[in-house]
Structures are given as C-alpha cells and as structure tokens.
Amino acid sequence: MNTITLQALAIARETLTIEAQAVHAIAQRLDERFVEVVQAVLNCRGRVVVMGMGKSGHVGNKIAATLASTGTPAMFVHPGEASHGDLGMITEVDIVLAISNSGESDELNAVLPVIKRMGVGLIALTGRHDSSLANYANWVLDSSVAKEACPHNLAPTASTTAQMALGDALAMALLDARGFKPQDFARSHPGGALGRKLLTHVSDIMRSGDAVPRVLATTSGMALMREMSAKGLGATAIVDERNCAIGIFTDGDLRRAIEQGVDLRAVVAGEIMRPNPHTISSQALAAQAADLMEAQAVTSLLVVNLDGELVGAVNTNDLMRAKVI
C-alpha cells in the first residue's frame, strides 16, 4: 500500500474508534433522567417537536422520522423558521426535543422563552449541562463527547454520532414501552418490503372466480388439460360436488404422467390427481403462502374457506407480481 492509502485507513479507523467510544460512554452514563424523558414522552398527548440548527438539525430530522415510524408522533421544526411563523406548529399538548451540542445556538435559544411561556415541556439533548438550552429545559439528555473525530477537533463528528445514537435509544425505548409490533411498523411503511409482507393477504393477490382452474374428479384427462391450458395457473384443482378441494394436478404431474406412459385419453381426473392438496386461507398473509410453498416445494396453492370450499388459487408468479417475494 502507498502512503496515502495507509494514511486514509488510519484516519478512518481512528474516526470509527473515537465515535464508537463516544457512543459507549453515553451508554454508561444513562440513568434515571433518561427514564424520566421516556415517561414524559409517553405522557405527551401531542407530538414530539424536534428542533436543531446546522448538523444538529440534520440529526433532528432523522430522529423525528425514526420516532414517527416507530409509534411516537413527531415532526421537525427548523428553529430559524420558527421565529417567522412556524412556532404556530407547536401546541400546548406537544413536547419539544431541542438538539444542540453547545446549547448556545442563537436561532434555537431565540425561541426557547416562547416555548416556555406556552407551557410546553422541553427536552434538551446537549453536550453541555450548563448551557442556556440546558437551563431552559425540563429534562436534559447528556450527549457530551470527549473529543470530535475531526483531527482538528472542529467538525461535528463524534458529537453528531452521539446525538443520533441517543435519539435512536430514545425511539427504541419508546417503541418497547408502547408495545410496538412489526405489524404496526408495516402500517407506517406500506410501500416498503416489510409493509408488503405484513399487510398483503392472500385474498389481495389470489385468482378467484372463473380464473381458478377446477374440474370434477369424473372429468376426462383431456378436458382437465384444456382447463389447465385455458387458465394459465400451471395447475388445476379437482373438486367434489360441494366445490371442496380434494386434489390437484400440476404441470409437474403431467410430465411425470407422460414419462410413465399414462394415456390421458383413457383416464379421469380422479385417477391422476394428487389427493390432499396443500391449501391456505384467503385471510392468511401472502408471506405465509410463500413460506408454505417453499417448505412444501410447490409453486401453487389452492385457497379455501373454513368449510374447505375452493375460493381461489395463488402461485409464485402472483407472489412475485405483488413483490412479496
């Protein structure tokens, strides 16, 4: 390695080490004051309004987004805009989380007196417990670091990492206290992969009505083939007179039948079907259908109601189109 490469690696490793140590130190300092903040937010009837300037503002945006997506209503308000009308976004039932490493941000401190007069609870996330912000606050979260990762000890690096980590710790503690479940997370992320897995049901993607291939056990082998070809599922259900699924015949079964010399013109569906087909409820999650297909090494499932009646069918192509797999 050349000198530049070695120097770059050394600086990168030193940066990560300093920031990791900063986060570890905060973890060791957490005490009952953190618990008081968690309780205050849980008691809040409104939203957590996050504020911060500069790099702390960028961190604040992320913390607000994390809180909102994990069960704690939150939004970010820019302190500079707050002095020009955006303070109207804050109501008496909200609680403010103000972020500043120095605790002396002019734009932030300018709105603190107004927030106090409104009677709004104020949480300070700051690196200085003797700062103006800390003195205004009802609760203080200590985000102080021994030094920045910047070689000149100037650029916010370890301090912003500490702020971010402490914000995440708060969000996760609140998530746990609220009993927030994966299903709750999915509801706020309906467009994401997790949302699709936890919100999409078999009924949302299954084929139904005339699109479901089905024949009686007495149907001829050739008529069975025509039904399979017409519906394009790669399989057909075999049902009884009550429309209950009693068997299935797939493309794979067809290949095996041909290899064994079965004359489809001389048999009926009941003689070549596979009995006791794998089925799933229409109210099951589509992800459960995917898991069942994988576990049973099949590409199609019949969908039945509580009485065992055939109401639909789903295959791997349907799951892929819905982006469940």
221 and 168 in a common domain: no
CATH number of the domain within which 114 lies: 3.40.50.10490
For 13-45, write each residue's pLDDT tens digit: 999 999 999 999 999 999 999 999 999 999 999
Structure letter (DSSP) for residue 323? T
49 and 131 in a common domain: yes
Residue 190 is assigned to a structural domain of this protein: no
212 and 163 in a common domain: no
**pLDDT at residue 189 is higher than 60:** no
125 and 89 in a common domain: yes
What angle (nearest 5°) sits at the alpha carbon of residue 11, between those of residues 5 and 17? Answer: 135
* Residue 226 pLDDT class (50, 70, 90 cuts): very high
Residue 195 is assigned to a structural domain of this protein: no
- The encoded tokens of residue 84 equal 């020009």
Number of domains in the chain: 2
Residue 222 is assigned to a structural domain of this protein: yes
- Nearest C-alpha neighbor of 239 from the set 225, 218, 263, 222: 218
147 and 254 in a common domain: no
Contact 126, 100 (CB under 8 A): yes
**pLDDT at residue 191 is higher than 90:** no
Residue 108 is assigned to a structural domain of this protein: yes
- The encoded tokens of residue 87 equal 């303070």
Domain span at 9: 3-180
Cα dihedral: 218, 224, 228, 231 (round 10)? -60
With both helix axes pointing from N to C terminus, report the angle between 221-231 and 251-259 in degrees, rounded to the nearest 10: 140
Residue 263 is assigned to a structural domain of this protein: yes
Residue 32 is assigned to a structural domain of this protein: yes
**pLDDT at residue 150 is higher than 70:** yes
297 and 148 in a common domain: no
CATH number of the domain within which 304 lies: 3.10.580.10
For 67-106, write each residue's pLDDT tens digit: 998 889 999 999 988 777 778 889 999 999 999 999 999 9
140 and 256 in a common domain: no
